[in-house]
Amino acid sequence: MVGKFLVSGKLSARKVATAGPGIYPDDDGLYLCVTKSLARAWVYRYSWQGRRPEMGLGSVADGVGLAEARAARDEARRILRTGRNPVEAKREASKAAARRRTFGEIADALLETRASEWRNTKHREQWRVALAEAAGPLRSRPVDEIDTEAILAVLKPLWLEKPETASRLRGRIEAVLDAAKAQGHRSGENPARWRGHLAHLLPKRQKLARGHHAALPYAEVSAFMAQLREIDTAAARALEFLILTAARTGEVLGARWPEMDLGSKVWAIPADRMKAGRGHRIPLCGRAVEILEKLAQAKFSEFIFPGRRVGKPLSHVAMAKVIARMGVKEATVHGFRSAFRDWAGNETHFAREVAEAALAHVVGDAAEQAYRRSDALEKRRELMESWAHYCRPENANNVIRAFGWACDGY
């Protein structure tokens, strides 16, 4: 310690503010050091293994007043009583603080880790938006500081207005905090846990009525097709192709040219793009092939239905917007799969298993699935041609029931 002791005894707030250059002791090893330029800093001097080291406790200019300096000295003395060097303990605490991870860092790492689990692009985007935007107030906070109060602050604004969104957000926050605990970045119970915790703090949500997607009655599909054919856009052709193949939105929007075999009239969707994680072949009816052949003439992207952004497919809402512009309020894109299934069950003699296979649904238990290895492609080809015939715009004013060919077995 450089300087000269000028005064003994405890300091006062006035003395701290007005003292000239020198070193002023307070009590129990605390000193105020004032330089020639009148800079004022605090030092704690103590005994450690035969030496008299010094520990800086901050400066008055940085807001460390007499009370704060005394509190810091008392904490250093407490550490000494445990047999540790307070300077080393302070250094270790600084390193630990530097290693502390934020909620945002853990969330981003979790998204990257789980990316391979989510085959659906829309699902991945929902997780990203939830953790990047809805949980935004948590992102910059150290993950080990996030408590129940912080969770409630994020959930309450959504809980009654958008209960399903809030419930999913809660589950995703819980997953991030579980990952942080598994990695050693936090301990204790998960404050986002529902049972036995948030269930007692948030009002009970009304039970969701998980109905089916709104579906256009199959008897009206041909009239819808007649109107759809009048719209000359990529989204309209994508929607028509979806209806003719009874495929899901993501399967159509993510369709790439290498998946199509126009010679065999088969669309082979790889397992990593299917909801069930199993490859699926779809027989293409004549009109579906016609759509593909026309699009192939102006092909400029790997995607069959490319969007405006280079290298990206159409937006997942593009087909829904077509329906909205057509003024058809009782229909959804996914609902056309229901229309197809209702038609197949009510208006044809095709076996149930064939119709379910056309929708890429898994039928039966594991043993039955192992026994039935065929995907009944040719039987499904007859079914899809019959469906395409039923959907023809020519049938709009005279609905023709297409019974198809009899299929007694699978």
Q: Is the pLDDT of residue 1 over 80?
A: no
The pLDDT value given to residue 258:
95
The pLDDT value given to residue 116:
72
The pLDDT value given to residue 9:
60
DSSP string, 181-237: HHTTS--S--TT-TTTTGGGTSPPPPPP---PPP---GGGHHHHHHHHHT--SHHHH
Tell me the average pLDDT across 96-102: 72
Q: Identify the weakest region by mean pLDDT among 14-28, 110-124, 141-155, 246-260.
A: 110-124
How many CB atoms lie under 10 A from the CB of residue 24? 22
For the chain, give the mean pLDDT: 85
In this prediction, residue 73 has a pLDDT band, given cuts at 50, 70 and 90, of very high
In this prediction, residue 294 has a pLDDT band, given cuts at 50, 70 and 90, of very high
The pLDDT value given to residue 34:
95
How does pLDDT run across 335-391, given as a tens digit for each residue?
999 999 999 999 999 999 999 999 988 654 443 343 344 568 899 999 999 999 999
How many CB atoms lie under 10 A from the CB of residue 32? 22
The pLDDT value given to residue 271:
85
Pairing status of strand 30-34 against strand 40-45: antiparallel
The pLDDT value given to residue 97:
60
